[in-house]
Amino acid sequence: MTSYIGRFAPSPSGPLHFGSLVAALGSYFQAKSNQGTWLVRIEDLDPPREMPGAADLILRTLEAYQLEWDGEVVYQSQRHHLYQQQIDAWIASGQAYFCQCTRKEIKQHGGYYLGTCRDKKLTGENLMATRLRMTEPVYEFVDQKHGLLSIPKALADEDFIIKRRDGLFAYNLAVVLDDIDQGVTEIVRGADLIEPTGRQISLYKMLGKQTISYLHLPLAMGENGQKLSKQNHAPAIDNLNPKPALLEAMHFLGFKFEQDIASASIAEIIAWGVKNWQINQLPNTTEITPRFSNRPW
Ligand code: GLU
């Protein structure tokens, strides 16, 4: 084992689909080809968007594809105390504040929040969002595949929400606190998360932590031009016959197969993937529409 720690962090809003299999495989191959640890974290932060049983289904799918995780699975729903503790500390220090602006008001002011409530010293969090005073805006970062990527200034400068008015913790806050707590050294995930990466790096800086490395994988798009996602009802991948989706997802990640791959076992294919994985095999684009027909396997 090296000091590399990677992770796969699905939200249990539905079963794994092709796009999330790509993220699982990419993060797994990158961790294991670095002799690292691969963690699984279930991001069950938003109950109204979750599907009962999806978390278990996702874990069973990872097992079927023989993606073995290290250590215990972590559930964000069991870590609210950690997130609240940090928010309380920031409220106490004046770094975070309550905000009562509605989405409509923010839209009227151009779509970005301009700090209207920053110095109002509103009290009582009920029915108010909690925002973080942005003192460490990040306008660009280096991605291991795509090089220097830039973040729009207005987005980077925004005092973003760390806890919503309905009491739910914000994705960016939970992800960063967990990644720090779990010692994650590199994040490998879909290119749809390039934009929030700036905010996440801001959080590392505001927490006084060493920033980590990022690799964004091409995003699988549906024929309709939208990303494959659970919200768009992307079909679940097959747990009983994993080989076709596994090979398709590896092809998507830029692997060039040898002739006899179709007769190999799932374990052999995964082991072959770990051995042959290289970041520079990844396609250069951030969005790809996979065509699922006429494969040689
Ligand atoms: N939970 C997020 C998702 O399923 C991914 C979070 C991450 O990888 O940072 O889209």
Closest CA to 151 of 186, 95, 200, 115: 200
Residue 200: CB within 6 Å of ligand 1?
no
Same-domain status, 288 and 186: yes
Closest CA to 161 of 104, 194, 199: 199
Cβ neighbourhood burial of 71 (10 Å; 0-12, 13-18, 19+): exposed
The overall longest dimension of the chain from CA atoms, in Å, is 67
Residue 254: the pLDDT is 95
Please enumerate, by residue number, every residue annotated as part of a binding site. Answer: 7-11, 43, 99, 101, 113, 117, 171, 189, 230
Sign of CA dihedral 251, 254, 259, 260: negative
Domain with 23, as residue range(s), is 5-77+177-294
Question: Is the pLDDT assigned to residue 223 strictly greater than 90?
Answer: no
Cβ neighbourhood burial of 138 (10 Å; 0-12, 13-18, 19+): buried
Q: What is the CATH number of the domain that holds 229?
A: 3.40.50.620
Same-domain status, 151 and 93: yes
Atom of ligand 1 at shortest distance to CA of 8? 8
Residue 229: CB within 6 Å of ligand 1?
no
Same-domain status, 216 and 262: yes
Residue 88 Cα to ligand 1 midpoint, Å, equals 25
Residue 9 Cα to ligand 1 midpoint, Å, equals 5
CB neighbour burial string for 27-57, b if at least 16 within 10 angstroms, e if fewer: bbbbbbbbebbbbbbbbbbbeeebeeebbeb
Question: Is the pLDDT assigned to residue 294 strictly greater than 70?
Answer: no
Identity of residue 207? L
Domain boundary, last residue among 173, 193, 216: 173
Domain boundary, last residue among 150, 173, 196: 173
Same-domain status, 279 and 191: yes
Domain boundary, last residue among 173, 192, 216: 173
Residue 9: CB within 6 Å of ligand 1?
yes
Instruction: Yes or no: say if 252 and 24 are a contact pair by the CB < 8 Å rule.
Output: no
Please enumerate, by residue number, every residue annotated as part of a binding site for L-glutamate. Answer: 7-11, 43, 171, 189
Residue 11 Cα to ligand 1 midpoint, Å, equals 6
Residue 24: CB within 6 Å of ligand 1?
no
Same-domain status, 73 and 192: yes
Q: Please give the angle made by the CA atoms of 147, 153 and 183, to the nearest 5 degrees.
A: 55
Same-domain status, 194 and 63: yes
Interatomic CA distance for residues 39 and 7, integer angstroms: 4
Residue 2: the pLDDT is 66
Mutate which of 13, 189, 200, 217 for ligand 1? The one with the most ligand atoms within 8 Å of its CB, which is 189
Instruction: Yes or no: say if 141 and 215 are a contact pair by the CB < 8 Å rule.
Output: no
Atom of ligand 1 at shortest distance to CA of 10? 4
Interatomic CA distance for residues 39 and 282, integer angstroms: 22
Question: Is the pLDDT assigned to residue 291 strictly greater than 90?
Answer: no
Residue 296: the pLDDT is 56
Instruction: Yes or no: say if 215 and 187 are a contact pair by the CB < 8 Å rule.
Output: yes
What confidence tier does 228 reach under pLDDT thresholds 50, 70, 90?
Answer: confident
Residue 120 Cα to ligand 1 midpoint, Å, equals 33
Q: Are strands 213-217 and 186-190 parallel, antiparallel or unpaired?
A: parallel
pLDDT tens per residue, range 80-117: 999 999 999 999 999 999 999 988 988 888 889 989 99
Same-domain status, 254 and 183: yes
Same-domain status, 195 and 286: yes
Same-domain status, 233 and 204: yes
Compute φ and ψ for 93, nearest 5 degrees.
-85, -5
Residue nearest (by alpha carbon) to ligand 1 atom 6: 9
Question: Is the pLDDT assigned to residue 1 strictly greater than 60?
Answer: no
Atom of ligand 1 at shortest distance to CA of 190? 8
Same-domain status, 185 and 39: yes
CB neighbour burial string for 269-293, b if at least 16 within 10 angstroms, e if fewer: bbebbeeebeeeebeeebeeebeee
Count of CA atoms in the C-beta half-sphere (13 A) of 83: 24
Question: Is the pLDDT assigned to residue 227 strictly greater than 90?
Answer: no
What confidence tier does 201 reach under pLDDT thresholds 50, 70, 90?
Answer: very high
Please enumerate, by residue number, every residue annotated as part of a binding site for Zn(2+). Answer: 99, 101, 113, 117
Interatomic CA distance for residues 149 and 18, integer angstroms: 26
Same-domain status, 236 and 266: yes
Same-domain status, 143 and 52: no
pLDDT tens per residue, range 11-31: 999 999 999 999 999 999 999
Instruction: Yes or no: say if 150 and 140 are a contact pair by the CB < 8 Å rule.
Output: yes
For the chain, the domain total comes to 2
Compute φ and ψ for 184, nearest 5 degrees.
-60, 135
Residue 123 Cα to ligand 1 midpoint, Å, equals 32
Please report, for residues 65, 185, 294, the alpha-carbon distance to residue 176 in angstroms, rounded to integers and kept in the order given.
28, 12, 41
Residue 266: the pLDDT is 97
Q: Which residue has the tokens 């109002």?
A: 120
The per-residue pLDDT of the chain, averaged, comes to 92
pLDDT tens per residue, range 134-177: 999 999 999 999 999 999 999 999 999 999 999 999 999 999 99
